[in-house]
Amino acid sequence: MKQNRLKQDAGVKAVDFIKSGMTIGLGTGSTVTYLVEELGKRVQSGQLDVDCVATSQRTFEQASNLGIKMHALSDVNQIDLTIDGADEIDLNFQGIKGGGAAQTYEKIVALNSQKNIWIVDESKMVDQLGAFPLPLEVVPFGWKQLFDRLHKENLNPHLRCDEKHQPILTDMNNYVIDLYLQKIMHPHLLANWLNQQTGIIEHGLFLDLVNTVIVGRLYGPEAIENVR
């Protein structure tokens, strides 16, 4: 319950960064759910008038049901601000995302945004990335050969499956392979290697992207600026 309250505090605080007339990217995950709820309240009350795109079908549906104006990414000219969650954020503002199997859509939206905010509870702030499994969205065709290649590189891959032991599918009907690494010593080098592997559509390393992190803490939400 405490963690949910911290997530809610961060999500609600993030809405203060949204101004009428903006085009907003809405991320995916449990913390973003609180963000969308609060945004919906302010839209319904007339405090905010915004256009939005979503990084997953579930966020799109939640926002639409709350009366938020939603659009396809290809139908907007620019994204002023994207607000999303994160699974880990290190001391250098590098992140792992994709616990909800939406990292490809999340990264596309983030890279096309003027500014990015991540909203997390304080447990997501770490000294070093890697304790959270690194997700890869992969093409089903040839996934086993890719899996074997990752295993040979000692990247400890696991195919993400549901309770019936069936592969979990992304919104694009792809598989997710999670790398259980414990520690990622050189995230940029790992990202470059993963980018070169045929069959990997996108990985969950979000590097050099975030501008502001809003952290839910026991004493209240804290906004931390990434001064680059």
Active site residues: 106
Residues in the chain: 228
86 is in an annotated binding site: yes
212 is in an annotated binding site: no
- DSSP letter string over 207-220? -S--SEEEEEETTE
Q: What is the DSSP letter of 168?
A: P
- β-pair partners for 95: 89, 206
87 is in an annotated binding site: yes
29 is in an annotated binding site: yes
85 is in an annotated binding site: yes
31 is in an annotated binding site: yes
- β-pair partners for 81: 24
98 is in an annotated binding site: yes
Residues 6+ apart with CB under 8 A from 171: 56, 57, 101, 102, 105
Sole residue written with tokens 């991540």: 118
Instruction: List binding-site positions.
Output: 28-31, 84-87, 97-100, 124
Known binding residues for substrate are 28-31, 84-87, 97-100, 124
